[in-house]
């Protein structure tokens, strides 16, 4: 997994696009901050980072395929049109 190696403090970033949206004075990157420019809560950040990582590695698609394959094998879902 490739991650930005800079500090989570936006002023050290070469690109101001890393600042929280609409908060150029925020001390945090856009991806780690709320819309108000505050640091995201600890519970939210790992979830969002996990989702991002899965998209980057296309694991989200693999997980979706596995879930659909599992559902296709169950009698109650076997003939469901969206699973064909």
CB distance 41 to 23 below 8 Å: no
18: confidence class by pLDDT, cuts 50, 70, 90: low
Angle at the Cα of 48 (from 31 to 10), degrees rounded to 5? 15
Tens digit of each residue's pLDDT (9 = 90 or more) over 22-41 = 777 777 777 788 888 888 88
Does 52 lie in the same domain as 33?
no
State yes or no: pLDDT of 45 exceeds 90. Answer: no
Give SS3 for 15. Answer: coil
Return the pLDDT at 46.
87
2 in a structural domain? no
For residue 80 the two structure tokens come to 């469901």
What pLDDT, in 10s, does the model give residues 54-84? 888 888 888 889 999 999 999 999 899 998 8
What integer pLDDT is reported at residue 11 of this predicted model?
47
Residue 47's domain comprises: 41-84
Is the residue at 71 inside a domain? yes
SS3 63: helix
Q: How far is CA 39 from CA 43, 44, 62, in A?
A: 11, 10, 31
Do 21 and 50 fall within a single domain? no
DSSP 2: -
Number of domains composing the chain: 2
């Amino acid at each position: 997994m490739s991650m930005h190696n800079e500090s989570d403090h936006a002023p050290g970033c070469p690109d101001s696009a890393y600042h929280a949206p609409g908060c150029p004075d925020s001390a945090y990157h856009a991806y780690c901050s709320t819309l108000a420019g505050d640091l995201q809560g600890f519970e939210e950040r790992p979830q969002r980072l996990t989702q991002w990582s899965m998209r980057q590695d296309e694991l989200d698609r693999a997980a979706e395929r596995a879930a659909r394959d599992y559902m296709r094998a169950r009698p109650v879902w076997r003939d469901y049109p969206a699973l064909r």
